[in-house]
Amino acid sequence: MSVLVYTESDKGKFKKNALEVASYAHNVAQELGTNVTAVTINADDDASLGNYGVSKVLKVTNDQLDTFNAKAYANTIAQAVEAENAKVIIISSSADTKFLGPILTAKLNAGYVPNVVAAPDSTSPFVVKRTAFSNKGFAHTEISSETKIVGVSNNAYGVHENTVSASIESFDPVLGDSDFTTKSIEIDKVVGKATIADADVVVSGGRGLKGPENWGMIEELAEVLGAATACSKPVSDLGWRSHGEHVGQTGKPVASNLYIAIGISGAIQHLAGVSASKTKVVINNDPEAPFFKAADYGIVGDAFEVVPKLIEKLKEFKAQNA
């Protein structure tokens, strides 16, 4: 009757969200008076999960699962749930997990609440707080089915250390051809750069930057901060930047620690998608830009003057704090 957590890894290394969902699972398990079992797929350092409250790891090692496959992964997790007789399952909110979550839900006949931002309000009845209406509201949602799935929002609960010793057992799911009816044939992914989903800092540019040729300073600022780059919707619609960088209600959600918006007016659809970020900084030459109302810090000024200065100051800061 343990709490089961799916801890995602990429090329063997746990993602940051894996440690966050493990921490969350530990909280729920304590509440329910039970332990946390993690299921890992082709991960290297399973024992490290013990630092985040996982007492048992079901370790899956399977070449067929080297590339993410939603159906096969969901089936793997479902079999681990059954083996452990788990009634509460904790998963993240990455693109991959949001892909496999609904499949798992249907397989287990389990109620699923994604975008959860806090530890459960209560566990009997089981009620969690989640964002709704694209971050314009929160819902307190009860999961009434016997098996429950909680999808924890990125960067909402945080990583908490709780050291226990983790026992590791290998686990062999039974998978067949019917689990691989969708095949990955090509992956085109930036390497060695922070992604919008994982980055602590996101630097975003809007139409105020006038054209794609002016993105050099955005990229330089991002590099100094170890940040991912993003943009507003018109910027991607105009083809200045790729669609993958478009953030907001109809683009990627952002929930970073720091979001820097440069030459972005702060339309409601843009804010809806980025407001989960903890600290928001706006650089805009129009003091009336709506984004200033939603920001923590702002500079009213011309991006072409302010951004190069900011880069310079950050470099100085880094040199001093190196």
Partner 1 sequence: MKILVCISNVPDTTSKINFAEGDTKFDTNGVQFVINPNDEFGLTRAMWFKEKQGAAVHVATVGGVQTEPTIRKALAIGADEAIRINAEPTDGFFVARQLAEVVKNGGYDLVIAGRESIDYNGGMVPGILATLLDMNFVNTCIGLEVDDNGATAMREIDGGKEKISTSLPLVIGGQKGLVEESDLRIPNMRGIMMARKKALNVVEPIDAPKLTNDQKFEKPAAKGPVKLVDAENVGELVNLLHNEAKVI
Ligand X SMILES: Cc1cc2nc3c(=O)[nH]c(=O)nc-3n(C[C@H](O)[C@H](O)[C@H](O)COP(=O)(O)OP(=O)(O)OC[C@H]3O[C@@H](n4cnc5c(N)ncnc54)[C@H](O)[C@@H]3O)c2cc1C
Q: Which residues participate in the annotated binding site for FAD?
A: 207, 263-270, 284
Closest CB to ligand X among 120 and 263?
A: 263
Distance (Å, whole) CA 226 – CA 35: 36
Q: Figure out which of the listed residues 144, 177, 288, 319 binds partner 1, where binding follows CB under 8 A.
A: 144
Range 28-47, binding partner 1 (CB under 8 A): none
β-strand 137-143 against 126-132: which pairing, if any? antiparallel
| Residue 304: count of CB within 10 angstroms of its CB | 15
| Known binding positions | 207, 263-270, 284
Does position 3 interact with ligand X (CB under 6 A)? The reply is no
Chain residues 37-76 in contact with ligand X, contact rule CB under 6 A: none
List binders of partner 1 among 89-118 (CB under 8 A).
94-96, 98-103, 105-107, 109-115
- Between CA 236 and CA 243, with CA 239 as vertex, the angle to 5 degrees is 40
Q: In this structure, which long-range contacts are made by residues 312-317, counting pairs with CB atoms below 8 Å and at least 24 apart in sequence?
A: 314/221, 314/224, 314/225, 315/224
Contacts of 41 (CB under 8 A, 6+ apart): 9, 60, 62, 65, 73, 76
Q: How many residues at the interface with ligand X, by CB under 6 A?
A: 26
Burial (CB < 10 A; 0-12, 13-18, 19+), residue 247, is: buried
Instruction: Give the x-and-dash track for 240-279 against ligand X (CB under 6 A).
Output: --------xxxx-----------xxx-x-xx--x------
Question: What part of residues 215-244 is at the interface with partner 1 (CB under 8 A)?
Answer: 225, 233, 237, 243-244
Residue list 155-214, contact with ligand X (CB under 6 A): 206-208
Binds 124: which of partner 1, ligand X, none (CB < 5-8 Å by kind)? none
